[in-house]
Amino acid sequence: MNVSHTQSETFVRQGTVTLVGAGPGDPDLLTIKALRAIEQATLIVFDNLVSEAIRALFPSNAKTLFVGKSKGQHSATQDEINDIMITYAQSGQDVCRLKGGDAFVFGRGGEEMLLLTQKGIKVNVIPGITAASGCTTYAQIPLTHRGLAQSCTYITAHADKQLALNWTALAQLNQTLVIYMGLTKTDMIASQLVENGMDTTTPVAFIENGCTPKQRIFTGQLSQLSQLKHQHQIQSPALIVIGHVVSVAEQMHWLAQLSKRTESHHRIPNALKRSA
């Protein structure tokens, strides 16, 4: 029995979503693969932490959707962002989902990947340099250092409900703590660490707008954590680094100042040069 179709069936090609880590701000820290994904994109869905310098690399013919989120101010909820990616991908468009840092480090990349895959949408992932690595390096703070820190722990101070952390383990010596999104919880962070055994004189650092021309770095002691924040009016995005590795940056600063003084001391005055 032959069956004839009076209407032709239309098949829509399913699009792909590529989760791209944009790194901590400096466009020179983009991976080649990430830069290629941006340059070839026709639709870019990007976050608040994607720097202006990286946004300047967006193709002029690409459609861009800003879905950035900041403390207390969301341009789109996570559900709305998910719907945007699903809708465009199911309509046949390839989506470049651009996130600051690395999508899999406090970037909800894992959640988005699982949801999209459940919807039958192909997902590619391009890693990026996470802020903890990029910003501390630009601040001359090694995450590990022989004799000072044999491990490093990344922490997010943001939680939907109560912040449940093993403060006893975090307060142990010989490790570096890097805290994301912790500006509003400095009092709690300092008190919990001290109550669980960390010395109040432990070095700390704030890195504001790391890896950008606006980068600012302030160092002090754990007991001064909130004081430093208020004194310097530190704003998001900012990382908190806690551990003895911060002293390496302080030593580098001291050596730089010493080098300048030594250079100035040995400089031959112009009058002596003319008489020589």
Angstrom distance (rounded) from CA 25 to CA 48:
11
Is-above-0.75 flag for pTM?
yes
- CATH topology match: 16-129 vs 132-254: no
Q: Where are the domains of the chain?
A: 16-129, 132-254
Provide the pLDDT for residue 163: 75
- The answer to whether residue 47 is catalytic is yes
Cβ–Cβ < 8 Å for 131, 239: yes
- Work out the pLDDT band at 275, boundaries 50, 70, 90: very low
Per-residue pLDDT for 167 more than 50?
yes
Catalytic residue among 26, 47, 94, 102: 47
Angstrom distance (rounded) from CA 157 to CA 163:
7
Angstrom distance (rounded) from CA 132 to CA 145:
15
Residues in CB range of 46: below 8 A, 6 or more apart? 22, 55, 64, 65, 66, 67, 68, 97, 98, 99
Angstrom distance (rounded) from CA 190 to CA 170:
11
Please provide the CATH number assigned to the domain covering 16-129.
Answer: 3.40.1010.10
Q: Is 158 left (phi over 0), alpha (psi -120 to 50) or beta?
A: beta
| Interval 70-105: pLDDT, tens | 655 567 899 999 999 999 999 999 999 999 999 999
| Interval 94-139: pLDDT, tens | 999 999 999 999 999 999 999 999 999 999 999 999 999 999 999 9
- The answer to whether residue 69 is catalytic is yes
Residue 110 DSSP symbol: H
According to the CATH classification, is domain 132-254 in 3.30.950.10? yes
Angstrom distance (rounded) from CA 163 to CA 193:
14
- Output the CA–CA distances (angstroms, integers) from residue 89 to 9, 82, 120, 145, 199, in the order listed: 20, 11, 10, 45, 52
**Computed over its alpha carbons, how large is the radius of gyration of the chain?**
24
Q: What mean pLDDT, rounded, does the chain reach?
A: 89
| Interval 11-48: pLDDT, tens | 668 999 999 999 999 999 999 999 999 999 999 999 99
% the chain with pLDDT above 70: 85
Provide the pLDDT for residue 261: 66
92-119 burial code (b ≥16 CB/10 A, e <16):
ebbbbbbbbbbbbbbbbbeebbebbeee
| Interval 205-260: pLDDT, tens | 999 999 999 999 999 999 999 999 999 999 999 999 999 999 998 888 777 777 66
Catalytic residue among 28, 63, 69, 71: 69
